[in-house]
Amino acid sequence: MKKQYIKTDAAPKAIGPYSQGVKGNGFLFVSGQLPVHPVTGEIPESVEDQTLQSLSNVKAVLEAGGSKVPPTVKTRSARMIRTAPPFIRLQVCMHAAGGRYKVPSPPAKHAAELCCSHVYSC
């Protein structure tokens, strides 16, 4: 199978040895995107704004790979517990963001809260 590695300046650079996205066999896989603004490097304060920034970064990688948001089949999200809101609040943010991106049919979804990552220190 031929693979195409996706890279765009419209989303934050990958932190570590992975690609922003990989396209192969008719599928586009997008790596998880932190809520980091690709130009300023800033992380928004509110979980709502962080959710929108992460989704904006995902959208940029999708577009760089020749796709867009509506045909998305599955999403997977994780929230780092640093200033974590209740899990349900994250779900409400994701639902509201889906409306903002005009997703006619929601994709399959996997969501979880995580304790730590190499980006945040606990």
Under CATH, what is the fold of the domain 3-114? 60s Ribosomal Protein L30; Chain: A; (3.30.1330)
Q: In the chain, which ranges are continuous DSSP H helix?
A: 47-64, 87-100
pLDDT digit string, tens, across residues 1-22: 899 999 999 999 988 888 999 9
**Average pLDDT of span 43-65:** 88
Contact 75, 107 (CB under 8 A): yes
pLDDT band at 121; cut points 50, 70, 90 = very low
